[in-house]
Structure 1
Amino acid sequence: MKKTDRSVTIKDIAREAGVSISTVSFAFNGTAPVAQETKARIFEVIKRLNYQPNSAARGLVTRKTNNICLFTPHPASDFFSFSGNSVFSDLLQGIGEVIDQKDYNLLIAWDNIGHKAKTPKLVKLMRERAMDGVLICLPSHDSSVIEELSEHQFPMVIIGTNDRKNRINSVDVDNYDIAYRNAQHMLRLGHTRIAFISPGPLEFLVCEDRLEGYRDALQEAGIKYRDEYVFIGDEKERSGYRAADSFLALKEPPTAIVSGRDIQAVGVIEYARENGLSIPGDVALISFENTELSQKYDITSVTTDLYEIGKEGAKLLHKLLTRKKDRGAQNVVISSELIVRGSCGAKART
């Protein structure tokens, strides 16, 4: 074959080796057995012609893209953003380390905010074969997309909430249990007026799980659930500040707050400082995430290791992509730990 400026194609390899295009593909991708002598001849031609496979063309043959999609809430929502979000950075690092080792590419996608398209983005990506599998981060109550992917047996793993019905592969901490234990911790310290700040809108399953855990702990202790003790927060410090303002203006204010995020807990602390209140003296505080903020502001917080969640989610998805036999859904629960600091008052009481 004469050397030209055009790229060498799989057809060229097949012609030079005297085999079919599919045989070259089988040898190159290992998708079907090829005689050792034939394989050696094919790879000799590949080396001699300096063949560089085109990933798009290879995908047409193998029906694989080597793309994994991370599907997130829209970054302009009140619940989620990329900028300055150390929790998301940890999640992304965990995912990235695994898919890099497995030689996959990572796509990040979300649906448009404010209106619903006829075909959701995730379904569109599946139909267009733009990805081999998907990690769905922080899913909402709208499960129609997940159900459609399930009907097509499309490989997916949910991260950011645990599928307690064991129908879909998922990796997360047990948000219900952590919220339950956080409320119990405050109950053990003698508090009966305990408020709750949701990490975001209740349309997201993680927020509902945490509210449910908080509510069940109160009910078990014989304490009536009070709507005025629940504030729907967001990802900003200001939401914790507004929650504290709402709670502490009540005729019967809470003496303890279960914050949905460390950043919200910082907002509570700022409100207390501005209004001459003591934490934990006037109001005790406990939170989720155990980020650097919790250490800086001495906040009692529970670890929710997003790096580990991302890593295990990517590993589980890779298993789905490579295993030959179907198995039941796997629900991986990442362990969490309560780190007691000064904000809850437990140190002073021990």
Structure 2
Amino acid sequence: MEGMNPPTIKDVAKAANVSVATVSRVLHNLDGYSDKTKQIVMQAVEALGYQPNAIARGLVNKRTQTIGVLFPDVSSSFSSDILHGIEEIAQERGFSVIVCNTAEEGKRTLKYLQVLREKQVDGIVFTSEVLKDEYFQAIKDMRVPVILVNTMSQKHMIPYVKVDDRQAAYQATDYLIQKGHREIAMISGSLKDQIAGYPRLDGYRQALADNGIEYMESRVAIGDFELESSRKAMQKLLTEAPPFTAVFAASDEMAIGAMNYAMEQGLKIPEDLSIIGYDDLKFARMVHPPLTTIHQPLTLMGRMASEKLIALIEDKGSQVSSSIVSHHLVERQTVRSKP
């Protein structure tokens, strides 16, 4: 009866419509054929379930010792801090890193996943944006492990490394309240953003509620994690919102944009207005006055992600767990106690 015998290299050649020699060359990673031929042969190998001998199998499954990392904005200080941690561990363990800039709203994410697939990376670190179904599917098709950083998926069980955003935002807001502020505005990321947008707004609202302060939608403006849009958000708050004495910005970049605009309008910080940020990027220490903020251990997060990913690459059967890393508040000079 046909199909009982394990498929042979001849069967693969026939299915792929190439010679046995070509199949052999592909399996041994020799050259002399096009990428298209290689794809057709590998598809035939997979479809038939052909198992070459152990030596050949070792060549086919040969690792490239590379990791792909996807960032929505490579130029940000936030991304470079995470990358620093990823690369540190990767270098130590003999892996090189390919960095892809997926641009805002993941415009280029699928394209880059395709590039990483062609480069045959051994694993992927996916950061800072929502893992859409189409990305998940593309990664699944690549059959490589993936770790999420600064994001998580409710739907797909993928290990992640992140801070508890809701709790951190709660702490930032509560700190302003402990300093005597009750009229507190917020500059938030997009509320469509289930990762860093909505949960941080939620933490702010909860801190107000727990302290008996009414939440006002008019005191929240969207700054979309960028300097320019946060300047506009600050302008909106100063012209349209009920008066406030303090602002919680859901990122340092937005805090600095807001500070910048407020100072141009002649407001003194922290005398007239207190501001607290979120991230503790390097430049939070360098602005004037230095920014009070929530510290995220970004380089550590990168290191942990790299560790987890390499563990999965080196032992396909291993299990790694997700990690919620701890944040803390860094007091500098942008918040004053309200008499």
Q: What residue ranges of structure 1 are gaps of 5+ in the alignment?
A: 1-8, 12-20, 32-57, 74-79
Deviations 1:79-106 (A, max 9, x none): x351xx3222221111111111222221
1:117-196 residue pairs with structure 2 within 5 A?
A: 120-121=110-111, 124-125=114-115, 128=118, 130-140=120-130, 142-146=132-136, 149=139, 154-162=144-152, 167-196=157-186
Q: Which moved more, 1:201-210 or 1:153-162?
A: 201-210
Superposed displacement of residue 280, structure 1: 2.4
Q: Percent identity?
A: 26
TM-aligned CA distance change 1:147 to 1:139, over 3 Å:
farther
CA distance in 2, matches of 1:211, 1:338: 17
Q: How many residues align?
A: 289
Aligned mates of 1:239, 1:193 — CA distance in 2: 22
Once the two structures are superposed, residues 36-93 of structure 1 have per-residue CA deviations (whole angstroms, 9 ceiling, x without a partner) of xxxxxxxxxxxxxxxxxxxxxx5xx2243322111122xxxxxx351xx322222111
| d(CA) in 2 for partners of 1:244, 1:23 | 64
Distance between the aligned counterparts of 1:178 and 1:62, measured in 2? Answer: 43
- Relative to structure 1, the CA distance from residue 23 to residue 114 in structure 2 (aligned partners, 3 Å threshold; closer, same or farther) is closer
Amino acid at match of 2:151: T
Q: 1:267 to 1:126 in 2, by over 3 A?
A: closer
CA–CA distance in structure 1, aligned partners of residues 156 and 178 of structure 2: 32
Contact 2:190/2:198 (8 A) holds in 1: no
Stretches of structure 2 lacking an aligned partner (at least 5 in a row): 1-27, 31-51
Q: Which amino acid aligns with 1:65?
A: T
Task: Identify the residue that residue 3 of structure 2 maps to in structure 1.
Answer: none
Is residue 240 of structure 2 the alignment partner of residue 250 of structure 1? yes
The residue number in structure 1 matching 2:315 is 323
State which of 102, 105, 114 in structure 1 corresponds to 2:93: 102
1:72 is aligned with what amino acid? Answer: F
Q: 1:293 aligns with which of 278, 283, 292?
A: 283
SS in 2 for 1:205: coil
CA distance in structure 1 between the partners assigned to 2:105 and 2:158 by the alignment:
28
CA distance in structure 2 between the aligned counterparts of 1:303 and 1:334, rounded to whole angstroms: 11
Residue type at the aligned position of 1:130: Q
Structure 1 residues 149 and 287, CA gap change in structure 2 (3 angstroms): same
The SS at the match of 1:342 is coil
Label 1:69 to 1:152 Cα distance change in 2 as closer, same or farther (>3 A). closer
Counterpart among 203, 206, 210 of residue 200 in structure 2: 210
Structure 2 partner of 1:69: 68
CA gap of 1:183–1:122, structure 2 versus 1, over 3 A, is same
Q: 2:209: which partner in 1?
A: 219
In 1, Cα distance between the equivalents of 2:106 and 2:126?
A: 20
Residue 293 of structure 1 deviates from its aligned partner by 2.7
Q: 1:205 to 1:289 in 2, by over 3 A?
A: same
Q: Secondary structure at the match of 1:345?
A: coil
- Separation in 2, partners of 1:143, 1:185: 38
> Distance between the aligned counterparts of 1:308 and 1:69, measured in 2?
18
Moved >4 Å (runs of 4+): 21-26, 110-117, 125-129, 150-153, 162-166
Aligned position for 1:314: 306
Deviation at 1:170, TM superposition (A): 0.4
CA drift at 1:138: 0.7
Which SS does the other structure have where 1:293 is aligned?
helix
Aligned counterparts of 2:187 and 2:166: Cα–Cα separation in 1: 14
Q: State the TM-score, normalized to the length of structure 1.
A: 0.71
Q: In structure 1, what is the equivalent of residue 329 of structure 2?
A: 338
| Contact 1:134-1:155 at 8 Å conserved across structures | yes
- CA distance in 2 between counterparts of 1:124 and 1:176 reads 34
Contact kept? 2:64, 2:121, Cα under 8 Å: yes
Contact kept? 1:91, 1:309, Cα under 8 Å: yes
- CA 183–149 in structure 1, closer or farther in 2 if over 3 Å, else same: same
Q: TM-score, normalised by structure 2?
A: 0.73
Cα 1:223–1:324, aligned 2, differ >3 Å: closer, same or farther?
same
Shift of 1:253: 2.2
In structure 1, what residue type is equivalent to 2:221? F
Instruction: Tell me if structure 1 keeps the 8 A contact 2:123–2:146.
Output: yes
SS at match of 1:140: coil
| CA contact 2:280–2:294 (8 Å) conserved in 1 | yes
Give 1:310 deviation, angstroms. 0.9
State the shift of 1:314 in Å: 0.7
Secondary structure of the corresponding residue to residue 181 of structure 1: helix
Q: Which amino acid aligns with 2:93?
A: K
Deviation at residue 299 of structure 1 after TM alignment: 1.5
Shift of 1:136: 0.5
